[in-house]
Structure formats: structure tokens, C-alpha cells
Amino acid sequence: MIEKLDELFKKFKKELDTVASNADALNLKAQYLGKKGPISNILRSLKDATASERKVVGASANELKVSIQDLINDKINSIEMDLMNKKLESQRIDISDRQSIRANSMLYSGGFHPINLVQNEIEDIFLSMGFEVLDGPHIEDEYHNFEALNIPADHPARDMQDTFWFEPPDPEASNRHLLRCHTSTIQVRGMKDRKPPFRFIAPGKVFRCERTDASHESAFHQLEGMLVGENISVANLIYFMKTLLSEIFKKEVQVRLRPGFFPFVEPGFELDIQCLICKGKGCSVCKKVGWVELLPCGMVHPNVLKAGGIDTSKYNGFAFGLGLDRLVMMRYGIDDIRLIHSGDLRFISQFKSY
């Protein structure tokens, strides 16, 4: 009997191999495991056998049933798997065809203007050090742009050649309007609205009447800063400037502080950083001197504090101005300042966020 079962299993396996569809598999299963199938027949014939034979053959026959059942299930699974794989094959996509390699990939990206990338970063650095961020008008009057900043009427800075002027509505007007030529205009506006101690920055566009070339623009960006309090010293100013620069450049930057003349500060300084493009060897960006003027700064002139309504016997402070365009150009290695306002997406798309 056992031999019969073995033979049956061999035959089943042979037939199973030829099965190609789900239905055939189920037919085969019915054929072998059905009530009239060969295994049932064998089990039925056992009623005449001895008890021991019945036990052995019965167990084997049941084992065979389980094996057949399993093999059939496997077969069904494998047929389904083949079908799915065929479907996947038919649905196959080219996974190398990413948007980023397509000609119109621009449409799937966006990005910030590099000036704002850097400006926001600097604003955040100053916010973290307790500075407010202020804003002011671009079209200013002589008082805020010059007089309040200790630049008297006959000062060369008031000449036509540096500043854009507007036609006064009344030819006799004493306080003519102009395009602010520095963000320092915010100093007096900021002081008037506050009581010391205070500290603020004011980023924004400024304008100079200059011929444009790769390193000169008639509209560019500055960031003014001011801190007023008791017993403020040059050492405090240097501390803030160095902290700022190491935060901006994420490393220690070589700096030098030299006297600089600005009517609204005394003492006044030019803070230069070693040129990051040539590392101090001299190149076109640093005009071959190895240093780049970055931060004009100084202790606020007593006349300016007075114009802002500050008690100079009690308070003093420092102020600084940062050229944002120059900083952005250094950071990214941009060789032409005119790209900033060009609106050219070939330039802007290089600063994409994603």
C-alpha cells in the first residue's frame, strides 16, 4: 500500500509540473483529494487491512494529503506571482527619468534671492543677540540722510555726484528729497522711537549716483546697526563685529581695523576682512590689496546722539554698516554685482532651495 501511495505522489508531481493556470491547479487538487480520488480510495480500502497496517498507511496517506495540499497552494501562489510580475513588467516605468534631468526642470524648483538668503541669516544672528530689525523709506530727506548724521550743508558728500536728488515741489524748500545713500538714515528714526539702552539693525536698499560696472551699482544693499547704552566702548564694538563675522562665515575670519572717516562716528573705523576669494594674495574683487572693506563702523558721534534725543552725558554707543552685496558676492564667488538686480533666472536659479 505504501508503494502505491509513493507511486501516486510521483504521478501527482509529474502532473503538477504541467499545470499552468489557477483553474488547472484546482482541478488537479480535486482530482487527487476529492472524495472519489485515489487517496480516498486507498483509505477506503484500508477497512480490510490489519490494525497496524491501517495505522501506518493511514498516517502516510494523511501526510500525502497535506503535501499535495501544500504543493497545490505553492503552485497557485507561484502562478499568481507570475501574473503580478507580468503586470509589473507591463507597468514598468523609467525610474531614471527624474524631473531634475528634464529640460523644464526649473518648473519644479524654487529659490530665494541670494541677498535675502544672506540678509535673513544676518537678521537671525542679530535677533539672537537682542537686536530689533527696523525698516525705513528709500526716498528720504536731507535732514535724515545728512544733517542729523553730522554731515553739514557744505560737506562734499552732499554734492550732486554721489546722491540722487528729486525735484523739490517748491524751489525754495530747505529740506530737499533724495534717495538715501546709506542705511544710516535709520539711526535718527530709530533713536527717536526708543529709550536707551537699545540695539537695532536696519537692512535695505541704498542708492548712489555712480557709473555701474562689475563692482559698482547705483542700487545696492546695506545693513545698518546701532547699539546705545551706558559705558559702551570700542572693545565692545570689536566684540560684536568679530562675533558677527565668525557667525556669518562659520569660521574665524582674518580682520583688520583701521581708521576710517565718516562724519557720523568718532572714532570711525573701516573693518576689512581678508579677501576670501584670493585668501589675501590679491585679486580683482579686493582690488589686488588682499583685504576687502566690509564694515565701516565707529562710536556714534555725540552730535548724532543729540539729534536722536539721547542724553550724551549718560549714554554712548556704536554704529556700523555692512555692505550686503559685497558679502553675498564673497560668499558665493559672484563676479558681477549687476546680476543682483538683473532678474536673470540663469543667475537666480543657481540659488535654488530644492
Partner 1 sequence: MLVSIDWIKDFTDLGELPAVEVGNKFTLSTAEVEGVQSIGEHFKKIKVAVVESINKHPNADKLSLVTFRVSQNETGEVVCGASNVKVGMKTPYAPLGTVLAGGFKLEPKKIRGVLSEGMLCSKEELGYEQNSKGIMELPEDAPVGMTLLEYLNESVDTLLDIDNKSLTHRPDLWGHYGMAREFATIFEKTLKNPFSDEWSTQLEKLYTLQSSPITLQVDPDCSCLAYFGLSINGVKVEDSPIWMQKRLKAVGLRPINNIVDISNYVMLELGIPLHIFDQDKIKGGKLIIQRMKKEDSFKTLDEIERKLLPSDTVICDNSGPLVLAGIMGGQSSEIDDQTQNVFIEVANWKAHEVRRTSTRLGLRTDSSSRYEKTLDSKMCKRTMLRTLELIIELCPNASVVGKLEYDGHDLSSIATRAITTSISKINSVLGHRIEKGKIISIFKSLDFIVEEDIDGDLLQLLVPSFRANKDIEYEADLIEEVGRIIGYDNITPKSPLSQVSPVRLTLADKLHRKIRNFMVYHAKSYEIMTYPMVGKKLYKKAAWSIEQGVKIINPISEDQDVMRPSLIPSLLEAASKNQKNFSDFCFFEIGRTYTKDQVEFSKEQSMLGVVFSSKDSSCFMELLNVVERLFTELNVAVKFNKRHANFANAHIPADWDGRHPFEHLDVNIMGKIHGAVITPHPIILKSFKIKGNLSMAIIDLTSFQDRPLKSKTKYTTLLKFPTSTFDCTVVADKGTPVQTVLECMKKSKVKKVIDQKVVDVFQFNETQNTVTLRTTFGDHEGTLSGQFLDSAKESIVESLKKGGFNLKM
H/E stretch holding 346:
helix 345-348
* β-pair partners for 294: none
H/E stretch holding 316:
strand 316-323
We find the least distance from the C-beta atom of residue 61 to partner 1, in angstroms, to be 53
Q: Which of 72, 186, 294, 340 binds partner 1 (CB under 8 A)?
A: 340
Give residues 167-186 in contact with partner 1 (rule: CB under 8 A). Answer: 167, 169, 177, 179
- Nearer to partner 1 by Cβ, of 12 and 198: the residue is 198
Q: Which of 301, 324, 327, 334 binds partner 1 (CB under 8 A)?
A: 301
Residue 166 as a binder of partner 1 (CB under 8 A): the answer is yes
Q: Which of 210, 279, 309, 335 binds partner 1 (CB under 8 A)?
A: 210
We find the least distance from the C-beta atom of residue 47 to partner 1, in angstroms, to be 59
We find the least distance from the C-beta atom of residue 135 to partner 1, in angstroms, to be 7
Give residues 43-72 in contact with partner 1 (rule: CB under 8 A). Answer: none
What is the rounded distance in angstroms from the CA atom of residue 92 to the CA atom of residue 29? 34
- Nearer to partner 1 by Cβ, of 88 and 107: the residue is 107
Give residues 121-160 in contact with partner 1 (rule: CB under 8 A). Answer: 123, 127, 130-135, 137-139, 141, 153-154, 156, 159-160
Best CA proximity match to 32, nearest among 3, 50, 7 = 7
We find the least distance from the C-beta atom of residue 95 to partner 1, in angstroms, to be 22
Q: C-alpha cell of 13?
A: 508531481
What is the rounded distance in angstroms from the CA atom of residue 122 to the CA atom of residue 150? 28
Residue 290 as a binder of partner 1 (CB under 8 A): the answer is no
Residue 203 and residue 133 in contact, taking contact as beta carbons nearer than 8 Å = yes
Give residues 82-121 in contact with partner 1 (rule: CB under 8 A). Answer: 103-104, 106-113, 115-116, 120
Please choose, out of 25-33, 89-97, 326-334, 337-345, the segment that lies near partner 1 by the rule CB under 8 A: 337-345
- Nearer to partner 1 by Cβ, of 18 and 104: the residue is 104
What is the rounded distance in angstroms from the CA atom of residue 203 to the CA atom of residue 134? 7
Cell 486507498 locates to: 42
Give residues 270-289 in contact with partner 1 (rule: CB under 8 A). Answer: 270, 287, 289
What is the rounded distance in angstroms from the CA atom of residue 230 to the CA atom of residue 319? 14
Contact partners, residue 201, CB within 8 Å, separation at least 6:
122, 123, 126, 131, 132, 133, 134, 223, 224, 225, 226
What is the rounded distance in angstroms from the CA atom of residue 301 to the CA atom of residue 317? 9
Residue 135 and residue 202 in contact, taking contact as beta carbons nearer than 8 Å = yes
Residue 12 as a binder of partner 1 (CB under 8 A): the answer is no
- Nearer to partner 1 by Cβ, of 12 and 126: the residue is 126
What is the rounded distance in angstroms from the CA atom of residue 125 to the CA atom of residue 269? 22
Residue 219 as a binder of partner 1 (CB under 8 A): the answer is yes
We find the least distance from the C-beta atom of residue 120 to partner 1, in angstroms, to be 7
What is the rounded distance in angstroms from the CA atom of residue 213 to the CA atom of residue 207? 15
Could you give the count of Cα atoms lying within 13 Å of 124 in the half-sphere of its Cβ? 8
Site size for partner 1, by CB under 8 A?
A: 87
What is the rounded distance in angstroms from the CA atom of residue 72 to the CA atom of residue 66? 10
The 8-class DSSP code of residue 285 comes to: T
What is the rounded distance in angstroms from the CA atom of residue 328 to the CA atom of residue 179? 23
Please choose, out of 32-40, 66-74, 77-85, 343-351, the segment that lies near partner 1 by the rule CB under 8 A: 343-351
Q: How many residues does the chain have?
A: 354
Q: Which of 27, 65, 125, 164 binds partner 1 (CB under 8 A)?
A: 164
- Nearer to partner 1 by Cβ, of 54 and 338: the residue is 338
Residue 211 as a binder of partner 1 (CB under 8 A): the answer is yes
- Nearer to partner 1 by Cβ, of 9 and 207: the residue is 207
We find the least distance from the C-beta atom of residue 111 to partner 1, in angstroms, to be 5
